Amino acid sequence: MKDIATPSRTKDILFRHGFSFKKSLGQNFLIDPNILHRITETAGLTKETGVIEIGPGIGALTEHLARTAGKVVAFEIDQRLLPILNETLEPYENVKVINEDVLKADVKTVVEQEFAGFEQLMVVANLPYYVTTPIIMKLLEDKIPVNGIVVMLQKEVGDRISAKPSTKEYGSLSIAVQYYTEAELAFVVPKTVFMPPPNVDSAIIKLIVRDEPAVSVKNEEFFFTVTRTSFAQRRKTILNNLVNGLPGGKEKKENIYAALQKAGIEPARRGETLSLSEFAALSDALLNEGVH
């Protein structure tokens, strides 16, 4: 069976259906089967794997997933793509397309209804760039019971997600994702393998969901508040950022200073130098000092 993801077949499908790209939906379709093969390989799919896909487009990645996984459920927000997907995915009985915005969908209920009995559940997707971070964070914060997430996103975002402390890419997004997962940048994807080509290179990132968060904290929400506040102005010291950014921080400057001392963190350090475990110790120390 001829792959969807070739320039000529993609053009033919789009022409026959009179489809035009919507910039607002970040539509860039893959036209290189080798890249799709590498994505499914990175995800380690078997017939015992269920897959959630987000933004299937015209089904280029979907058909590769359907060939290797047990079942694929794809969320597609653009109604105009439904007749195209009906046609392109007709040979695959193990695919279901849901016309819904995944950010508004009850994904947990879909998982319960569609994937009972599967040994493994993965999210595999070529994500629209404009909603990459909200989608990843929804999956993690809502604790959707997936084993891993393998997604294509902007390379710059992939670098930030997988970044280590004391690098310029490291920030609150790195911490938020690495709190829930082990993150690895699998490979870079050039812009030339898309139609239309995006302005930037892409990357495949692999996130293996941890059984337990990377660090133990007293209050998860406050932990994330502390990490975001610590990066509010990257050039400022951790003390300055916390004093200026936490509720009542200016009145509680001495308590913040005491918390930093108790956590063994030099107040003159910058947020980007702190590890996850240091942020965990800091957020717990701040709570103990009555800062929250």
In the CATH hierarchy, which fold is given to the domain comprising 7-209? Rossmann fold (3.40.50)
Can you give the pLDDT at residue 25?
65
Q: Extract the residue ranges of the chain whose pLDDT is less than 50.
A: none
Name the residue ranges covered by the structural domains of the chain.
7-209, 220-288
Can you give the pLDDT at residue 183?
97
Q: Would you say 126 is a known binding-site residue?
A: yes
Residue 52 · residue 76 · CB < 8 Å? no
Residue 253 · residue 281 · CB < 8 Å? no
Can you give the pLDDT at residue 21?
73
Tokens of 19: 């489809």
Q: 266: exposed, middle or buried (C-beta count within 10 Å: 0-12, 13-18, 19+)? A: exposed
Can you give the pLDDT at residue 10?
92
Q: 124: exposed, middle or buried (C-beta count within 10 Å: 0-12, 13-18, 19+)? A: buried
pLDDT digits (tens, 9 = 90+) for 106-155: 999 999 999 999 999 999 999 988 899 999 999 999 999 999 999 999 99
Distance separating alpha carbons of residues 223 and 227, to the nearest angstrom: 6
Distance separating alpha carbons of residues 108 and 224, to the nearest angstrom: 23
For residue 262, the number of C-alpha atoms closer than 13 Å in the C-beta half-sphere is 16
Can you give the pLDDT at residue 24?
65
Q: Do 220-288 and 7-209 have the same topology in CATH? A: no
CA dihedral 149, 151, 153, 155 (to 10 degrees): 80
If phi > 0 it is left, if psi is from -120 to 50 it is alpha, else beta; for residue 113 that is: alpha
Other Cβ atoms within 10 Å of 56 Cβ, number: 26
Closest CA to 143 of 206, 211, 96, 192: 211
Can you give the pLDDT at residue 101?
96
- E-strand ranges in the chain read 29-30, 49-54, 71-75, 95-98, 120-126, 148-154, 181-189, 194-195, 202-209
Can you give the pLDDT at residue 197?
87
Q: Would you say 101 is a known binding-site residue?
A: yes
Residue 94 · residue 63 · CB < 8 Å? no
Q: Would you say 76 is a known binding-site residue?
A: yes
The CATH number fitting domain 220-288, selected from 3.40.718.10, 1.10.8.100, 1.20.1070.10, 3.40.50.2000: 1.10.8.100
Q: Would you say 55 is a known binding-site residue?
A: yes
